[in-house]
Amino acid sequence: MPEYLIIDAAADAYADEIARLTGAPCSGIVCTSGKQAVEKYSGQPVVFGNPDMVASVLAELPNVEWVQSTWAGVTPLTAVPRRDYVLTGIKDVFGPPMSEYVTAYMLAHELKLFERMQHQRAHDWFPKQSGTLFGKHLCVLGTGSIGAYIARVAKAFGMQTTGINRSGTATDAFDQIKPVNEMHDILVDVDYLVATLPATAETNNLVDAKALARLPANACFINVGRSNVVNDDALMQSLRENKLAGAVLDVFDTEPLPKDSPLWETPNLVITAHKAAPSQPSLIAPVFVENYRRYCEKQPLKYVVGFERGY
C-alpha cells in the first residue's frame, strides 16, 4: 500500500483517526505545514490535506496522482493550473453541522434573540412578540448534500422549501426545485435565502443588487457557501436602507475579515469566522480511508472534482 502525505495543521489528529478507523498504525507522513511537506516528500503519489497548504506546494510534489481534500471547498486547488492528478472533495458529512448553524440563526432571527439580549443589558423589559419558522419560506441556493440536509431539517419546523440549481432537476429533499434562471421569480416571497454554493464562474455575484431587491423587506440572507456568491456592497446597502431584515455571513473574500471592513459596522449583519461546519478529523478521515482503499484496489474514487466545473 503506497505511502501518503497528510498536509494539515491538524495532521496528527488525522493520523490518529486513520489509525483508529483502520486498526493499524497510520502509514501517512504527518506534515503540519507546506514547507514540512516539501522537506518530507519522497515521491508519494497520494496527498490528504488542506487545499490551501497543498496548493502552495503542489508544484514541488511532481509524482502526486491523487489529492484528497480535507475541505468541502477546493477552490485553492482548482485555481492552480496543474491538472495531471485526480482531486476528490468531501460530501455527505457537512449537512448536520451546516443545518444546525443555519437553523440556529433562523431561530435567533425569529425569536429576536439579539434584540432581547440588548434590552436585557439595558435592564429594559422587551415584550415584543417573537416570530415562528412554521410556514415560512426557505429558499436554498444549491441542492447538493448540504442544501438537501438543510431543507430536510427546515421541513421538520414546518417550513416551505425551494431549491435552486442549474437545471431544475427535482430532488425529494425540497417541496420544489427551480432552475437558476427562475430564481428572481421565486425570491419575491422568500423569508430566508440560504447560499450553499461553491465558488465558480456561474455562482459569481449571483446574489447581486437585483436579486436582493426582489427579496421582501422581512427576509434574511445566510451564506455558508462561498463569498463570491454575494455582492457585499449591495448587501450592505440593502441592510442600511432596511430593505432586508438581516444577514448572516460565515465566508468572506479575505479571511480573517480585515478590521477596517465596513461589514463589521453594518446593521443587522452577523459575522462568524468560517465556522459553520469545521473539518473535524472524525468526520473527514472516514472519507479518506474509504477512498484510499478504493485507490489501492484501483476502483473509482468517490467525490471526484471536475477542475473546470469547480466541484
Question: In the numeric block, which cell numbers belong to residue 170?
Answer: 427535482
**For residue 183, is it within any domain?**
yes
- Do residue 47 and residue 118 come from a single domain? no
Given this model, what pLDDT does residue 170 score?
Answer: 87
Given this model, what pLDDT does residue 41 score?
Answer: 98
Report the number of distinct structural domains present in the chain. Answer: 2
Given this model, what pLDDT does residue 172 score?
Answer: 92
- Do residue 180 and residue 252 come from a single domain? yes
Give the DSSP H or E segment for 171.
none
DSSP state, residue 304: B
The CATH number assigned to the domain holding 170 equals 3.40.50.720
In degrees and rounded to multiples of 5, residue 268 shows phi and psi of: 60, 25
Given this model, what pLDDT does residue 246 score?
Answer: 98
- Do residue 110 and residue 212 come from a single domain? yes
- Chunked into runs of 10 residues, the chain (311 residues) has average pLDDT values of 96 98 96 98 98 98 98 93 97 96 98 97 98 98 96 98 94 96 98 96 97 98 98 98 98 97 98 95 97 98 94 88
**For residue 19, is it within any domain?**
yes
- Do residue 59 and residue 115 come from a single domain? no
Amino acid identity for residue 54 in this structure: V
Given this model, what pLDDT does residue 190 score?
Answer: 98
Amino acid identity for residue 149 in this structure: Y
**For residue 310, is it within any domain?**
no
> What is the residue range of 21's domain?
4-90+279-296
- Do residue 245 and residue 217 come from a single domain? yes
Burial class (CB in 10 A: 0-12, 13-18, 19+), 201: exposed
List the one residue out of 102, 51, 50 whose CA is nearest residue 224: 102
